[in-house]
């Protein structure tokens, strides 16, 4: 067979010519295979075994049928960049059955795989293969193979003797663990102390069993260790014995780095947990809304009738704390409550940034407690504008960008958020770098996902990085931006008195508070526990105002207000709810005022007065 020298392909900085020369160095059978499956170079040992003329990995190759699937699988995985090994039996030139171990290594030209490097190790019996049992026999004549295998192996490989000392390690071990190879050889505890107690005992037991001969091969599975830089890494470890003539037995360990996979699994678990917690939180927030609502409304009512300054100051403090709690609850509800796409609307950009910052602060507080990572956020606003879009998607983009930029902070730092409008509206998010690359454990979203969020907002991203800083600038589309309008002149309010008001609420404390408030204003107030009783009374009394809680047993408040509007369209209807309702805009002809719990009594009264004023004006 003629060797092909026309394509210059590096094998870890080696050309195809060098690779061919490397093949010729081996006393083991070796060859180079093209990505299409043809043998393009081989040594004499390979040619003595196999008729290489027009040989390719198709139906004509000499391997027995029962091994073709395994060989094809290894071949395809190698084409994806993974070094593989498998066992197979084939017919040699003399039509004799030959058992062999096959090692397949991808050959890269830059990032593209252009060929495969293949080594064959002949074994006398199937039981001698690494694939199922006891020993991998590498003779002294295979030194060239062993050296090259260690030098070019994409997987970290260790050799450990019976005393537990590290005899040999590939350069990729240093990249994985962080310690110099010579340091590992001098001090084996650098490796063993990096393991936790459980994994260390697993590895020690496996090594003992292999040296005793009770097992010949074992995949330990996932092992966690801490690198020299205190980074957490995960590997799959596979151990098997290696016998070299004239030397004591050693165990070889192949380490497959699965850190990225483990971190992705963790993120998926977190997402699943968020879904579960989100469902539980909706119910929790509903109950919490009612509790805060009672506290807030009662404090407001007492503030109106209390004259002592000391009592008034205490009540004002309670009201302020309750209002802060309301704001946080609203943000959480908006974050977890979207079950379908929101209708687009005008978004106050500063308010959206503030919401995203508050969400980020919650996460950073958790990290400060659990990971000793302190991230502060500073903001500067040079423009007051609104944009037209989906508020949820816009807030997701802001939050994701903050997390992405903050991922360069390892221990302590500040994320700066700046809103400006010159020729375009931009939101620049910037941080001083502590890390030269983002860490997966601090990155909640990938660059690809961030780009998708920007695309959904019709925005552009500009990513900039220097030795000191890392920033992402969100450039918002000009046709969606408008300056915030000046507040319209308020319509004079009609005082809320001498009205027939129906309150339908199943929470006794709220019933009592609202009854006291509306009654004290000079109204006739009726209170009901359920919608059916209220509707029967409405058919007789025809109330001017009906205030109903959504989550009533039996007929819901929404259903009640729908029936009331059918009976008397001019009735002012108010829906109260502590639940997250995404389709409330569909009922704009049924509900005049929508109040989300917890609400302030003065806001409720003002909303009703405004509605009455609008009707009086028109």
Cβ contacts of residue 481 below 8 Å, gap of 6+?
Answer: 385, 386, 387, 421, 425
Provide the whole-model pTM. Answer: 0.44
Mark whether 479 and 361 lie in a shared domain. yes
CATH number at residue 546: 3.40.50.2300
Q: Which has the minimum average pLDDT: 79-83, 172-176, 564-568, 613-617?
A: 613-617
CA dist 291 and 230 (Å) reads 45
Domain membership flag for residue 514: yes
Mark whether 476 and 505 lie in a shared domain. no
Give the H/E segment covering residue 609.
Answer: helix 601-617
The proportion of the chain whose per-residue pLDDT surpasses 70, expressed as a percent, equals 76
Rounded to 5 degrees, what angle do the CA atoms 505, 506, 511 make?
55
Mark whether 440 and 524 lie in a shared domain. no
Going by pLDDT thresholds of 50, 70 and 90, the confidence category of residue 572 is very high
Q: What is the pLDDT of residue 347?
A: 86
CATH number at residue 116: 3.30.450.20
Q: What is the pLDDT of residue 585?
A: 67
Please count the other Cβ atoms lying within 10 Å of the Cβ belonging to residue 18.
15
pLDDT of residue 438 exceeding 70: no
Q: What is the pLDDT of residue 419?
A: 93
End-to-end CA distance of the chain: 97
Mark whether 410 and 351 lie in a shared domain. yes
Residue range 359-405, pLDDT digits in tens: 888 888 878 877 788 899 999 998 888 888 888 888 888 988 998 89
Average pLDDT over residues 459-468: 88
CA dist 290 and 293 (Å) reads 5
Mark whether 349 and 464 lie in a shared domain. yes
The proportion of the chain whose per-residue pLDDT surpasses 90, expressed as a percent, equals 12
Instruction: Determine contact, residues 510/293, Cβ cutoff 8 Å.
Output: yes
pLDDT of residue 61 exceeding 70: no
DSSP string for 349-408:
HHHHHHHHHHHHHHHHHHHHHHT--EEEEEEEE---EEEEE-HHHHHHHHHHHHHHHHTT
Q: Which domain holds residue 199?
A: 155-257
Mark whether 424 and 473 lie in a shared domain. yes
Residue 179 per-residue DSSP state: S
Q: How many folded domains does the chain comprise?
A: 4
CA dist 200 and 180 (Å) reads 21
Residue range 106-142, pLDDT digits in tens: 887 777 888 888 888 887 644 444 443 333 433 444 4
Structure tokens at 98: 């030959």
Mean pLDDT of the chain: 78
Mark whether 552 and 608 lie in a shared domain. yes
Average pLDDT over residues 78-84: 83
Q: How many CA atoms lie within 13 A of 29 on its CB side?
A: 20
Mark whether 447 and 542 lie in a shared domain. no
Q: What is the pLDDT of residue 341?
A: 42
CA dist 304 and 323 (Å) reads 17
Mark whether 465 and 350 lie in a shared domain. yes
Going by pLDDT thresholds of 50, 70 and 90, the confidence category of residue 546 is very high
Average pLDDT over residues 213-220: 81
Whether the bond into 598 is cis, omega within 30 of 0: yes
Q: Which has the minimum average pLDDT: 234-243, 417-426, 475-484?
A: 475-484
Mark whether 118 and 185 lie in a shared domain. no
Strand partners of residue 253: 158, 239
Going by pLDDT thresholds of 50, 70 and 90, the confidence category of residue 431 is very high
Domain boundary, last residue among 458, 483, 508: 483
Domain boundary, last residue among 233, 257, 281: 257
Q: Which has the minimum average pLDDT: 24-38, 394-408, 494-508?
A: 24-38
Rounded to 5 degrees, what angle do the CA atoms 361, 365, 370 make?
145
CA dist 372 and 267 (Å) reads 20
Q: What is the pLDDT of residue 269?
A: 61
Domain membership flag for residue 303: no
Cβ contacts of residue 290 below 8 Å, gap of 6+?
Answer: 507, 510, 578, 597, 598
Considering only residues 46 and 578, tell me which one the structure prediction assigns the higher pLDDT. 46
Q: Closest Cα to residue 54, out of 63, 62, 43, 66?
A: 62
Q: Closest Cα to residue 543, out of 511, 576, 504?
A: 504
Average pLDDT over residues 310-334: 73
């Amino acid at each position: 067979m003629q060797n092909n020298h026309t394509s210059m392909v590096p094998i870890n900085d080696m050309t195809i010519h060098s690779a061919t020369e490397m093949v010729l160095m081996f006393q083991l059978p070796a060859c180079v295979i093209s990505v299409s499956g043809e043998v393009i170079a081989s040594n004499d040992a390979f040619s003595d075994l196999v008729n290489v003329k027009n040989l390719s990995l198709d139906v004509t190759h000499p391997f027995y049928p029962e091994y073709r699937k395994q060989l094809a699988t290894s071949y395809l995985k190698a084409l994806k960049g993974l070094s593989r090994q498998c066992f197979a039996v084939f017919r040699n030139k003399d039509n004799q059955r030959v058992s062999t171990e096959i090692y397949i290594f991808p050959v890269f030209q830059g990032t593209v795989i252009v060929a495969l490097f293949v080594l064959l190790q002949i074994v006398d019996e199937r039981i001698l293969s690494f694939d199922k049992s006891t020993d991998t026999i590498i003779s002294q004549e295979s030194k060239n193979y062993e050296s090259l295998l260690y030098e070019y192996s994409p997987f970290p490989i260790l050799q450990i003797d019976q005393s537990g000392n590290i005899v040999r390690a590939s350069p990729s071990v240093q990249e994985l663990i962080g310690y110099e190879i010579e340091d590992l050889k001098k001090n084996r505890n650098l490796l063993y102390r990096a393991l936790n107690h459980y994994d260390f005992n697993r590895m020690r037991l496996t090594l003992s069993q292999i040296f005793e001969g009770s097992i010949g091969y074992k995949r330990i599975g996932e092992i966690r260790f801490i690198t020299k830089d205190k980074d957490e890494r995960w590997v799959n470890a596979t151990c098997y014995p290696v016998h070299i003539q004239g030397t004591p037995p050693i165990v070889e360990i192949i380490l497959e780095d699965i850190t990225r996979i483990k971190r992705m699994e963790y993120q998926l678990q977190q997402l699943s947990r968020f879904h579960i917690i989100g469902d539980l939180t909706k119910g929790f927030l509903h109950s919490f809304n009612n509790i805060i609502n009672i506290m807030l409304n009662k404090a407001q009512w007492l503030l109106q009738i209390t004259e002592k300054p000391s009592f008034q100051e205490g009540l004002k403090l309670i009201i302020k704390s309750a209002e802060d709690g309301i704001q946080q609850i609203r943000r959480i509800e908006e974050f977890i409550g979207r079950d379908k796409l929101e209708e687009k609307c005008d978004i106050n950009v500063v308010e959206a940034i503030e919401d995203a910052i508050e969400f980020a602060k919650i996460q950073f507080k958790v990290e400060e407690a659990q990971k000793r990572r302190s991230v502060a956020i500073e903001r500067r606003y040079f423009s007051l504008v609104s944009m037209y879009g989906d508020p949820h998607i816009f807030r997701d983009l802001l939050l994701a960008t903050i997390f992405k930029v903050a991922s360069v902070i390892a221990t302590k730092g500040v994320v700066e958020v700046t809103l400006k409008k010159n020729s375009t509206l931009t939101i620049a998010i910037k941080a001083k770098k502590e890390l030269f690359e983002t860490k997966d454990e601090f990155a909640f979203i990938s660059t690809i996902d961030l780009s998708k969020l920007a695309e959904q907002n019709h925005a552009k991203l500009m990513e900039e990085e220097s030795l000191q800083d890392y920033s992402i600038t969100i450039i918002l589309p000009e046709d969606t931006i408008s300056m915030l309008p000046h507040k319209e002149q308020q319509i004079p309010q009609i005082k809320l008195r001498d009205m027939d008001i129906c309150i339908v609420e199943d929470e006794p404390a709220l019933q009592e508070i609202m009854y006291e408030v509306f009654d004290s204003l000079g109204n006739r107030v009726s209170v009901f526990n359920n919608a059916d009783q209220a509707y029967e009374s409405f058919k007789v009394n025809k109330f001017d105002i009906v205030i109903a809680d959504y989550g009533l047993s039996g007929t819901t408040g929404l259903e009640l207000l729908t029936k009331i509007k059918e009976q008397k369209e001019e009735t002012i209807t108010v829906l109260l709810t502590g639940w997250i309702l995404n389709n409330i805009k569909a009922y704009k002809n049924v509900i005049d005022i929508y109040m989300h719990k917890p609400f302030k009594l003065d806001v409720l009264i003002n909303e009703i007065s405004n509605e009455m004023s609008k009707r009086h004006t028109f």
